[in-house]
């Protein structure tokens, strides 16, 4: 769907903002009247610039307006002009700045609500709303600013905050005489639609049937709520033409997307009763209404005309009907003509790109995509350019023009990277389409690169870019600060990086030796897929301890023989293995691989990292062995929260684990049970520098960040709140070692180990040791004690963990992999 966020999405609010400001009384002096007239004219000028899709010019104009109102000390005028600046900034995609510029108008003195790495509680949002609504009666411009704040928070991906604020605006608007609430209903529908997109993207990663059903139900629920809100706007006789047409466009697009999603779901998911039959009926009704109103488009401003036509064209193209497909092309052609008439190259590029999508013949599609790309490049619109380059790459690939296809995919990746660098943490559309658009593009490029062995270095670089992009998307953060191992001076070079890349039909393995030489082999995924799935099912089964050793060995030997054996002859007999793991492989401890005689951990120290990119590795010095230790030995209030893992038990053995740890530390602070609250934990981090943070509590890692939680005494802490815990610590010195020893990965989620890497990155830790499953408390106490003993003796973290695991493995009672292989090291091995 074409995004309105670039200009016209909120144009009705601009008009309302203008009327509110323009109609306010001023001081009756000649000076004030002159200034007032100038401000009105500037507002009209800026409004027209936005209508013509020129947000940069509009921003400069609205800045002038703001200065005039500041000179007049006229609060309502200042608020109105700040709102208009906000809209221009949204048009430029500068959503973070757009959010912050509203805060003074709302009397909000902290910009935390605009920070995408922090999550505000419902209580905190309510406090901010009270502060913003402290004037009675509430000025209309203040309400409009609050409405706009809810809108821009949606663009920032802060959907919970957006929904709470817009619902409050709706409530307040209904209390105002003669209020037109249709723009607010439209905004609330948009936030619901974005929530639908977020849930749908996460649902793509979940394979276990129970969670498929749970998340699938939520996807449907949010979609239907949004559709209902759009329908209310469409039926509202007081709604403006623009508002109704926008609602029609969003509703049809969402109906078609929901139908497509339901059709592609697996048999494990059961849709709501009669939902698909109702969808067909609603789609037909929506189509009839759009066709009925087709003559109304000429009443729109030029830019709105273009976007509305393109959105409807895009939707019509998803329906298998020749007449509708022809109508879609007519809409796109008329949109292109208007874009050319107003000389707007961005709108021209979008129109040409849609025309390319509408073509059945590749030659015509290629012509339109090339023209669209040329227009986008001429104005440095990289967010459009990468889309058309991806389309051209796919076309060239079908035409067996591999060199051209590679060039286009490479350019698309480069431009996407530039867009993500600038907009990742401020662009919800990119966040919620990662697994639908971004991930497939990288993997198509990788398949092309691997057709030529001279491209292996490019393959490695692209894999690392993809995994960093996935993590940044998971964390909803900006750029991660990681360093290339090859650029670190004085680093022990006795390490080998092994990349395991899952491309569907094949598993690609690239081994990078410390001398930078490369070895590549490709495996038919059928030879290893069953073993990977069976091993994962066994590891994630709550009765893993009862699984026969022989069954585990069978699966791990198959993986070893296919993945590792082909490179074994080129490796030293011992040393450090740095694994870069993809998809399902992320949840398998590589030390568990077996050659028929020994486990891999017998010969190598092992860590998992983003290939050759990790946080700057440093050896943990003796004087740095100062730790903050936190844990729960018994049931707490947090066990009863809905997002806490199920069937949790007391962990009394933790007491022994803590005793063993403290033997090998220089100093420590311990927060146990009632003392381990989220607030107290953060206070400790704020007041002291702890190179080691050791948390022994129930928790869960998941590819869904909202299901990645650690249990404090008072409540579960999700990954975004966890960032708040450790923010102050990062301002002191980085955490050298983070240990999470009683957590588990989410069952039925083959990419749940992504949560471990996410927590490690969010904590800013150089190294993280975490458990893949709910490990046995007694054996883990022994293992963790041995691990700290190794550190105390000067061993690296990777070697300390290896020696500790071998100690537990050699114990007759704990030789089963359940006891010793669950802890993995992520990040630096030093």
**What pLDDT shows up at residue 14?**
39
- Residue with the larger pLDDT of the pair 645 and 63: 63
For residues 760 and 747, what is the distance between their CA atoms, to the nearest angstrom? 20
Asked if residue 27 lies in contact with residue 76, where contact means CB atoms within 8 angstroms, the answer is no
Structure confidence by residue, pLDDT tens digits, 541-581? 888 999 999 999 999 999 999 999 999 988 888 999 999 99
In this structure, the strands spanning 699-701 and 743-745 are parallel
Task: Place 12 in a pLDDT band, splitting at 50, 70 and 90.
Answer: very low
Residue 627: HSE in the Cβ half-sphere, 13 Å Cα cutoff = 26
Q: In this predicted structure, what is the pLDDT of residue 327?
A: 94
CA distances from 161 to 120, 149, 432 (A): 7, 10, 17
- Name 752's Cβ contacts closer than 8 Å, sequence gap at least 6: 587, 701, 702, 703, 745, 746
Average pLDDT of the chain is 85
Torsions phi, psi for 663 (to 5 deg) = -60, -30
Distance CA 441, CA 386 (A): 10
Separation of first and last alpha carbons in the chain: 48
Q: How many CB atoms lie within 10 A of CB 128?
A: 23
Q: How far apart are CA 570 and CA 135, in angstroms?
A: 74
pLDDT tens digits for 299-336?
888 988 999 999 999 999 999 888 999 999 999 999 99
Nearest to 627 by CA among 596, 587, 584, 657: 657
Alpha carbon distance 65, 86 (integer Å): 13
Length of the chain: 830
Structural element, H or E, at residue 345: helix 345-357
Is 569 in contact with 732 (CB distance < 8 Å)?
A: no
- Compute the distance between CA of residue 199 and CA of residue 217 in angstroms, rounded to an integer: 10
Residue 489 in this model has a pLDDT that exceeds 50: no
Token representation of residue 22: 């323009």
In order of 172, 568, 818, the CA distances from 561 in angstroms are 66, 10, 22
* SS3 assignment, position 827: strand
* Owner of token pair 């329906």: 319
pLDDT of 368 strictly over 90: yes
What is the Cα 66 distance to its own chain's centre? 35
428: nearest Cα among 189, 163, 158: 158
What is the arithmetic mean of pLDDT over 10-16?
Answer: 39
Beta carbons of 644 and 698 less than 8 angstroms apart: yes
Alpha carbon dihedral 514, 516, 517, 521, in 10-degree steps, equals: 80
Distance of alpha carbon 39 from alpha carbon 215, whole angstroms:
50
Residue from 289, 271, 306, 149 nearest 230 by CA? 289
Token digits of residue 720: 């975004």
Where do the H-state alpha helices sit in 704-767?
719-732, 754-763
pTM recorded for the entire structure: 0.86
The SS3 of residue 722 is: helix
Q: Give 61 or 119, the one with higher predicted confidence.
A: 61
Q: Say which residue, 390 or 424, is predicted with more confidence.
A: 390
Cα(729)–Cα(543) distance, integer angstroms: 38
Rg (CA), the chain: 29
Distant-in-sequence, close-in-space partners of 85: CB < 8 Å, separation ≥ 6: 59, 62, 63, 66, 98, 101
Token pair, residue 794, equals 């000067």
CB 244 within 8 A of CB 234: yes
Of 93, 219, 230, nearest to 156 by C-alpha is 93
Tens-digit pLDDT profile for residues 496-520: 999 999 999 999 999 998 777 899 9
508 close to 498: Cβ distance less than 8 angstroms? no
Sheet with 495-502, strands from edge to edge, namely 518-524, 506-512, 495-502, 575-580, 604-608, 823-827, 767-771, 737-740, 692-696, 626-631, 667-672
For residue 530, give the H/E element and its range: helix 526-540
CA-based max dimension of the chain? 95
Residue 22 banded pLDDT, cuts 50, 70, 90: very low
DSSP run (H or E) holding 42: helix 30-51
pLDDT value at residue 775: 83
Q: Which of 24-33, 415-424, 598-607, 620-629 has the lowest mean pLDDT?
A: 24-33
In the predicted structure, residue 752 carries a pLDDT above the cut 50: yes
More confident residue, 391 or 717: 391
Residue with the larger pLDDT of the pair 328 and 133: 328
Structure confidence at residue 492 (pLDDT): 61
What confidence tens digit (pLDDT) does each residue in 138-191 have?
788 888 999 999 999 998 888 989 999 999 999 989 888 777 899 999 999 999
- Per cent of the chain over pLDDT 90 is 50
Query: How far is CA 45 from each of CA 71, 89, 101, rounded to the nearest angstrom?
Result: 20, 16, 21
Residue 744, both tokens: 């588990």
Is a pLDDT exceeding 70 seen at residue 9?
A: no
Model confidence over 215-241: pLDDT tens digits? 788 899 999 999 999 999 999 998 999
The arithmetic mean of pLDDT across residues 603-608, rounded, is 94
pLDDT at 204 over 80: no
The answer for residues whose C-beta is within 8 angstroms of residue 585's C-beta and 6 or more apart is 500, 502, 532
**What tokens does 41 get?**
């004219």
Pairing state of beta strands 716-718 and 613-614?
A: unpaired
DSSP E strands in 303-365: the ranges are: none
Q: Hey, what are 246's tokens? A: 């926008």
Please list, residue by residue across 591-609, b when 16 or more beta carbons sit within 10 angstroms of its beta carbon and e when fewer do. bbbbbeeebbbebbbbbbb
Spatial separation of the C-alpha atoms in residues 823 and 646, rounded to whole Å: 21
Task: Give, in order, the Cα–Cα distances in Å from 166 to each of 9, 77, 160, 185, 308.
Answer: 16, 23, 10, 9, 24
| 245-297 tens-digit pLDDT | 999 999 999 999 999 888 887 555 666 656 767 888 899 999 999 888 888 88
∠ CA 192-198-199, rounded to 5°: 90
Res. 785: pLDDT tops 50: yes
Q: 292: part of which helix (H) or strand (E)?
A: helix 275-292
* Of 50-54, 180-184, 368-372, 528-532, minimum mean pLDDT range: 50-54
Main-chain dihedrals φ then ψ at residue 587, nearest 5 degrees: -100, 10
Judge whether 720 and 675 are in contact, CB under 8 Å: no
Q: What pLDDT does 269 receive?
A: 64
Q: How many CB atoms lie within 10 A of CB 641?
A: 12
Say which residue the tokens 């700045």 belong to: 97
Q: What's residue 109's pLDDT?
A: 80
Instruction: Say if residues 609 and 578 touch (Cβ distance below 8 Å).
Output: yes
């Amino acid at each position: 769907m074409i995004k309105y966020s670039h200009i016209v999405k909120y144009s009705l609010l601009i008009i309302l903002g203008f009327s509110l400001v323009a109609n306010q009384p001023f001081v009756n002096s000649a000076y004030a009247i002159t200034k007032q007239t100038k401000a009105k004219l500037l507002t009209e000028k800026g409004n027209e610039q936005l209508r013509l899709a020129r947000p940069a010019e509009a921003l400069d104009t609205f800045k002038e307006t703001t200065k005039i109102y500041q000179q007049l000390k006229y609060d309502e005028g200042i608020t109105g002009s700040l709102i208009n600046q906000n809209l221009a900034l949204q048009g430029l995609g500068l959503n973070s700045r757009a959010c912050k510029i509203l805060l003074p108008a709302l009397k909000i003195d902290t910009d935390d609500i605009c920070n995408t790495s922090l999550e505000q509680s419902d209580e905190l949002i309510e406090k901010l709303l009270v502060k913003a609504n402290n004037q009675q009666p509430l000025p209309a411009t203040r309400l409009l600013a609050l409405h706009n704040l809810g809108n821009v928070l949606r663009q920032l991906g802060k959907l919970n905050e957006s929904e709470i604020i817009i619902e409050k605006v709706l409530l307040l608007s209904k209390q105002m005489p003669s209020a037109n609430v249709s723009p607010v209903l439209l905004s609330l529908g948009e936030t619901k639609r974005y929530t639908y997109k977020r849930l749908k993207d996460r649902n793509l990663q979940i394979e276990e049937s129970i969670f498929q059903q749970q998340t699938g139900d939520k996807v449907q629920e949010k979609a239907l709520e949004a559709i209902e809100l759009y329908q209310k706007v469409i039926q509202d006789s007081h709604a403006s033409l623009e508002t109704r047409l926008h609602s029609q466009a969003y509703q049809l697009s969402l109906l078609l997307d929901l139908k497509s999603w339901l059709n592609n779901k697996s048999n494990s998911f059961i849709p709501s009763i009669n939902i698909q039959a109702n969808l067909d009926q609603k789609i037909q009704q929506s189509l009839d209404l759009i066709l009925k109103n087709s003559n109304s488009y000429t009443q729109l401003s030029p830019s709105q005309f273009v976007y509305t036509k393109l959105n409807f064209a895009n939707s019509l193209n998803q329906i298998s009907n020749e007449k509708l497909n022809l109508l879609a092309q007519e809409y796109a052609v008329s949109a292109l003509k208007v874009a050319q008439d107003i000389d707007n190259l961005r709108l021209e590029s979008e129109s040409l790109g849609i025309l390319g999508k509408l073509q059945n013949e590749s030659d015509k599609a290629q012509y339109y995509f090339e023209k669209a790309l040329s227009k986008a490049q001429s104005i440095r619109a990289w967010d459009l350019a990468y889309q058309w380059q991806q389309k051209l790459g796919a076309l060239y690939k079908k035409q067996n023009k591999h060199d051209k296809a590679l060039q286009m995919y490479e350019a698309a990746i480069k431009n996407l990277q530039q867009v993500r660098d600038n907009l990742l943490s401020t662009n919800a559309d990119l966040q919620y389409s990662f697994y639908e658009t971004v991930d497939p593009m990288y993997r198509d490029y990788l398949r092309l690169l691997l057709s030529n062995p001279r491209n292996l270095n490019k393959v490695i670089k692209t894999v690392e870019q993809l995994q960093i992009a996935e993590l940044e998307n998971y964390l909803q953060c900006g750029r991660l600060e990681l360093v290339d191992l090859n650029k670190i001076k004085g680093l022990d070079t006795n390490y080998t990086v092994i990349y395991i890349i899952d491309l569907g039909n094949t598993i690609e393995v690239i081994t990078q030796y410390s001398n930078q030489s490369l070895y590549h082999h490709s495996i038919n995924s059928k030879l290893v897929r069953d073993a990977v799935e069976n091993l994962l099912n066994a590891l994630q089964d709550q009765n893993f301890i009862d699984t026969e050793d022989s069954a585990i060995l069978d699966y791990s030997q198959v993986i070893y023989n296919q993945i590792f054996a082909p490179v074994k002859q080129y490796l030293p007999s011992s040393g450090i293995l740095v694994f870069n793991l993809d998809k399902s492989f992320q949840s398998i401890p590589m030390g568990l691989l077996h050659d028929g005689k020994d486990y891999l951990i017998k010969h190598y120290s092992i860590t998992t990292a983003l290939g050759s990119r990790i946080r700057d590795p440093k050896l943990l010095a003796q004087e740095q062995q100062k730790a903050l230790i936190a844990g729960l030995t018994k049931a707490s209030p947090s066990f009863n929260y809905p997002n806490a893992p199920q069937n949790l038990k007391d962990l009394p053995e933790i007491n022994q684990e803590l005793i063993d740890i403290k033997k090998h530390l220089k100093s420590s602070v311990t927060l146990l049970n009632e003392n381990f609250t989220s607030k107290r934990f953060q206070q400790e981090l704020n007041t002291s520098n702890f190179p080691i943070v050791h948390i022994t509590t129930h928790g869960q890692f998941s590819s869904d960040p909202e299901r990645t939680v650690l249990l404090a005494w008072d409540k579960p802490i999700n990954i975004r709140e966890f960032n708040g815990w450790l923010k102050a610590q990062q301002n002191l010195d980085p955490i050298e070692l983070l240990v999470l020893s009683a957590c588990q990965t989410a069952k039925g989620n083959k990419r749940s180990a992504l949560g471990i890497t996410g927590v490690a990155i969010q904590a800013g830790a150089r190294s993280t040791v975490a458990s893949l499953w709910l490990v046995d408390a007694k054996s883990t106490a022994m293992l963790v004690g041995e691990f700290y003993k190794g550190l105390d003796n000067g061993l690296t973290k990777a070697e300390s963990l290896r020696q500790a695991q071998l100690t537990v493995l050699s114990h007759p009672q704990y030789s089963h992999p359940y006891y010793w292989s669950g802890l993995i090291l992520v990040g630096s091995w030093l």
